[in-house]
Structure formats: structure tokens, C-alpha cells
Amino acid sequence: MTVEDLLEKQTEETERQAALENRILCCTAAGCVSCGADGIRGAIAGEIKAQGREGKVEVCGTGCMGLCSQGPLVLSAADRKLYGNVTAADAAALVSPNPIDRQALAPREIDLGAPFFIKQTKIVLANSGRVDPERLDDYIAAGGYQALAKALNEMTPKETVEAVRKSGLRGRGGAGYPTGLKWELVAKQAAPVKYVVCNADEGDPGAFMDRSVLEGDPHRVLEGMAIAGYAVGAQQGYIYVRGEYGLAIQRLQTAIKQAEREHLLGSRILEQGFQFRIDLRIGAGAFVCGEETALIASIEGKRGQPRQRPPYPPESGLWGAPTLINNVETFANIPAIVEKGAEWFSAIGTANSKGTKVFALAGKIVNTGLIEVPMGATLREILFEIGGGIPSGKFKAAQTGGPSGGCIPEQFLDVPVDYESLARIGSIMGSGGLIVMDETSCMVDVARFFMEFCMEESCGKCIPCRTGTVQMYDILRRMTTGEADEDDLAMLKGLSELLRETSLCGLGQTAPNPVVSTLKYFAGEYEAHIRDHRCPAGHCGLEAKEATR
């Protein structure tokens, strides 16, 4: 496919879609699929046939529409009406040209003018819920692969790196390292072989952003990686994706095949000299493989254990070659930056955190689901306007950053969400999991939960992490059963410091974060557990144990 073919294909597909009377879009992301979206899609397809509406009405699957709590979701594109909790019995009404037939669906119509929709800014998720992730033509109609064409035709690799640097994009995997600097480091290495790796080993409990992006818009990630390959001089890319993400793996495989067939990946991309292949590597369930050196070891077929840095992967990564590793969401931002320019991107967000961030809202919140907001939005906006607030009871804390992050109490609800502000209040941006807790959640137990996670996921290579997490877990466990004393609390604080200072990789270094942040903001709960053998949230069941003692 040449650039002219690409533009022609876009026009052709756009006109084809415009000529239809209606397109019925069914959300087929993992959430909606597990409540029966595939059956609904099948029923609608059957109904189109039964009512003789082929060629006039079309049904297709899309990526995540965001409002997972009301799935399965179906969007009628012609009149822009979104329906929730749809069943197969609604198929006839959805297909019918007569608006009166839709009346039964009216109570389940979701207001697209609600804050959940209008308060969001979509870059990464721009196509999610709008295009069929299994059809390349859909992505092309939405302007897909034009950023790659622009990079190849109008920009040198150096200019491409420069555009990313100027945009101010920072790594969306959690640490927030400037993406442009990383690209520059890899680009200036003089090695003959270089690699581009996409980190899709999304392991933080409570995070499903990357999964949704891969399931909903896989071509965007492929395009971002191909642009990266062009910019840094790599011809081979790998996507390291979690083994648990079956649907994402399947859609990526389909997308790679489609792109190769049309010369958008592989050799002679867009009939030009550039070649870039992408292969999948399926993870096997080890959280530590999200750490870049462990991820490299795993792609090489070894135990996923991290190693000492430096050398950093941009100098010596996969098989010793310079390797660029970025997160899924980072790559998904690239096509938009190349197409619309660095200035456009850097106008969104705050002074040091540019662009948008995708969050997965879960826990005690009305609108569980997937959202994208500009950097600098406050937690109050995210949780109470977009998220719709707490279903019952009172807000207690929001947990960001998974087992490496912290709990944010009510007094910081108005802090803007960006890398620096969250670090200042003892949490991290993390990959984007945002879990809301109300007063029934016990903070000591939450700390215990995350410590158990780190203990089990510790790879065992360095001693502070291997044994330290076990000791910290044991203290926290005894606190929740009412067996800990003041000395334990002092020991817990000492160990937190030790792990942070002496662990080999990020897993051990950040493992104490949930403990430190809950100790800082919810010290009273720890004291109640230790001194009074009482759990203020009533979660640990200490009163009952006390009574039988």
C-alpha cells in the first residue's frame, strides 16, 4: 500500500460508512464480553438479516466504551444513542427503522451529555468504542497510519525524535521518564541491530488501561511502535503481553497480520525502504516482568529476574543491543503527536506533565470503567464528576499506583493529578489504576494486602526484597489479628526504610509505599489495631476475637 492508496482507502471506507442508514456498535471489550456482548452482536446480525436490512444497517464490535459498570453497551451511530444493560431481546428494536420500536429501550439510554462523557479528553482512547479493532479499514477511515506516512515522507528520524521530545510526553508506565530523551539515547547508539519493545505486562492490581487499549485499538499501538522503530533505527519490535489477556493477544495477532498484508508493517512499509517487524511475546504470570531488565530476561526465555542498572536498556538491552522500552499507552500517544504536532500536545496538561492520562476507575464508585482526562485534573473532578461519586457511605481514600503507590486521603482531593503533585503527597501516578475505598475498608488491611502481593511476586534475587517483604507482611498480618505491639510498629518503619534504600529493583524499592502512605495519613487506625485491638472500619473482626479471648 502506498500513501495514495492509504488516502484512497480512507475516503472509500468513510463514504461506505456514510452511505449506511445506521451502524450499530457493540462494545466487545473484555468487560462487556463477559456479560454477553458476543451473543448480542450475533442477535443483531441475525435481526438485520431477518428484517432484510443488509447493506443498510451494519453491526460491528468495538473497543471499550468506558462505562463498564453498565455493560453490555450498544451505540446506535446514526442518532448517537448509547444504551446500557442491553440484552439479545433488544436486537429487533435496535435494527428496526421505526423509532417507536425503540421505546422499550428508552429507560436504558445513557445520556452522552453526562459529565462522565463530556469531562474527558480523548487522545489514546480516541478510537476506542468507535472503530472495530478487528478491521484495518475502520482504523484507516479514522485516519490511521497517516502519522506513520507523515513520519516516513516528511520527517527525518532525527526530526521525529525531536517532535516527541518537544511534546513533553513522559512514560505512562508509572515512572514518568521523558519519552523523547529515551528515544534520543537509543537513536544515537551506533549499533547495527536495535530493538523496540512494548511493555504490555500490565500487572498492577486494579489496572486495566493497557488491556483496553490493546483490545480496543491495537493498530494505534502498532503504528506508534513503527514510528519509534523509524525514529531510533530499529527493524524489529516485540510486544510483551500478559498471558492472562487472551482477547488482547488475539486482537494483536489479527492486527499484525492485517498490517503486514497491506505493507504497513514488515518489509517495504508504504512501498518505501523502511522495514519493521513486530512479534508478540506472551508473558507467563510474573509481576516483576514489568520491570524493564526482568522483561528483557523473559523475552530471552529466562527467569524474569531484574539485573543491576546501569547499563540501561537504551545502551544494552535485549541480547545486548540498544533497546527502547515504552509502555502501551506511551506508544498509543505517538501517532497523535506526530500527526498533530508537538505544540498541540504540549498545550494539554500542566507545566511538567503534558497530555492526558488514562485511568481505570474501580472499587467503591458509581461509574466503574475507563476514562481519559487531561493531566492536572483534580481527584475530585475524576471521582465525583466523572466517576459519579461513592454509591453509599463516605469517601475514605483513593489508591493510585498499585503496590508501588499510596493511598490518598480526603484532604488532597483538590490536588491536581500529575507526576510531581502525586509524588509530593506520597503516592505515584503509576500506570493508572485508581481504586476508591469507603469507610468499610481498613487501611491496615489494605497495606497488608499489597505487602502480601509484593511478597509473593518478589523474584527472590536480592535479600532485602526477598526476606524484607516476608517480615513486613508478618507484622501487618499480626496487626490485623490484634497480636502486634509498639515494637512491631517501630520495626515496620525501619524495614520500610531499609527496603526502599537497598532493594535491587523497583519492586522492592517501592514495596513499602502503601505502608508508608497509610502510616502517614491513617496513623490512628494502626494505633487502634495495636493498642485497643480494635479495627475502626470493622473489617478485621477484632472485636469478635477479643470477646472470645
Partner 1 sequence: MPPNAPAAAPKDNREKLLERAMSRHQYSGDALIEVLHTAQELYGFLSPHLLTAIAHKLRLPPSRVLGVASFYHFFSLKPKGEHTFTVCLGTACYVAGALGLVERLEKRCCKAGTTTPDGKVSVETARCIGSCGLAPAVIYDGAVLARVTPEGLDRELERIGAK
- Count Cβ atoms below 10 Å from residue 322 Cβ, excluding itself: 25
The least CB distance from residue 477 to partner 1, in Å, is 14
Query: Do residues 406 and 434 lie in contact, with contact meaning Cβ atoms separated by under 8 Å?
Result: no
The least CB distance from residue 435 to partner 1, in Å, is 5
Cα separation of 235 and 324, whole Å? 12
The least CB distance from residue 517 to partner 1, in Å, is 14
The least CB distance from residue 85 to partner 1, in Å, is 12
Cα separation of 466 and 274, whole Å? 45
Three-state secondary-structure class, residue 425: coil
The least CB distance from residue 404 to partner 1, in Å, is 13
Among 27, 187, 437, 492, binds partner 1 (CB under 8 A): 437
The least CB distance from residue 107 to partner 1, in Å, is 21
CB contact set of 74 (below 8 Å; sequence gap of 6+) = 24, 25, 26, 27, 40, 44, 82, 83, 86, 90, 94
Q: For partner 1, give the closer residue by CB, 69 or 502.
A: 69
Among 369, 406, 409, 512, binds partner 1 (CB under 8 A): 369
494 is written with which cell numbers? Answer: 525501619
185 is written with which cell numbers? Answer: 539515547
Q: Residue 85, Cα to own-chain centre: how many angstroms?
A: 24
Secondary-structure percent of the chain, ordered helix, strand, coil, rounded to 5: 50, 15, 35
Please list the residues that pair with 53 across neighbouring strands: none
Cα separation of 202 and 231, whole Å? 25
453 makes contact with partner 1 (CB under 8 A): yes
368 makes contact with partner 1 (CB under 8 A): yes
Query: Do residues 306 and 293 lie in contact, with contact meaning Cβ atoms separated by under 8 Å?
Result: yes
Where does 389-505 have alpha helices with state H?
Answer: 419-424, 443-457, 463-480, 486-502
The residue with cell 428496526 is: 96
285 makes contact with partner 1 (CB under 8 A): yes
The alpha carbons of the chain give a radius of gyration, in whole angstroms, of 25
Query: Do residues 227 and 187 lie in contact, with contact meaning Cβ atoms separated by under 8 Å?
Result: no
Among 363, 406, 432, 464, binds partner 1 (CB under 8 A): 363
281 makes contact with partner 1 (CB under 8 A): yes
Among 201, 329, 385, 457, binds partner 1 (CB under 8 A): 457
- Binding to partner 1 (CB under 8 A): which residues in 214-253? 242-246
Query: Do residues 399 and 391 lie in contact, with contact meaning Cβ atoms separated by under 8 Å?
Result: no
CB contact set of 307 (below 8 Å; sequence gap of 6+) = 293, 297
The least CB distance from residue 8 to partner 1, in Å, is 36
The least CB distance from residue 285 to partner 1, in Å, is 4
Where does 142-275 have alpha helices with state H?
Answer: 146-154, 157-167, 179-187, 209-216, 218-232, 246-261
250-269 mask for partner 1 (x: CB under 8 A)? --------------------
The least CB distance from residue 41 to partner 1, in Å, is 16
CB contact set of 4 (below 8 Å; sequence gap of 6+) = none
Q: For partner 1, give the closer residue by CB, 312 or 449.
A: 449
In sign, the C-alpha dihedral spanning 277, 200, 31, 394 is negative
116 makes contact with partner 1 (CB under 8 A): no
The least CB distance from residue 370 to partner 1, in Å, is 8
459 makes contact with partner 1 (CB under 8 A): yes
The least CB distance from residue 66 to partner 1, in Å, is 10
Among 324, 390, 435, 515, binds partner 1 (CB under 8 A): 435
Q: For partner 1, give the closer residue by CB, 342 or 504.
A: 504
Residues 351, 330, 385: CA angle, nearest 5 degrees: 60
Residues that bind partner 1 (rule: CB under 8 A) add up to a total of 54
Determine the interface stretch with partner 1 among 10-18, 283-291, 380-388, 494-502 (rule: CB under 8 A): 283-291
Q: For partner 1, give the closer residue by CB, 433 or 508.
A: 433
The least CB distance from residue 43 to partner 1, in Å, is 19
Q: For partner 1, give the closer residue by CB, 402 or 426.
A: 402
298 makes contact with partner 1 (CB under 8 A): yes
- Binding to partner 1 (CB under 8 A): which residues in 119-158? none
Among 257, 303, 307, 340, binds partner 1 (CB under 8 A): 303
Q: For partner 1, give the closer residue by CB, 300 or 485.
A: 300
Three-state secondary-structure class, residue 350: coil
352 makes contact with partner 1 (CB under 8 A): no
Residue type, 505: C
53-72 mask for partner 1 (x: CB under 8 A)? ---------------xx-x-
The CA–CA distances, whole Å, from 61 to 31, 64, 77, 536 equal 13, 10, 12, 46
- Binding to partner 1 (CB under 8 A): which residues in 20-39? 30-31, 33-35
The CA–CA distances, whole Å, from 115 to 10, 367, 469 equal 32, 11, 42
The least CB distance from residue 360 to partner 1, in Å, is 6
Measured distance between the N- and C-terminal CA atoms of the chain, rounded to whole angstroms: 76
449 makes contact with partner 1 (CB under 8 A): yes
Determine the interface stretch with partner 1 among 267-275, 307-315, 321-329, 448-456 (rule: CB under 8 A): 448-456
Among 84, 203, 233, 322, binds partner 1 (CB under 8 A): 203
302 makes contact with partner 1 (CB under 8 A): yes
The least CB distance from residue 214 to partner 1, in Å, is 10
Name the residues that contact partner 1, by CB under 8 A: 30-31, 33-35, 68-69, 71, 202-208, 211, 242-246, 281-287, 298-304, 360, 362-364, 368-370, 399, 402, 433, 435, 437, 441, 449-450, 453, 456-457, 459
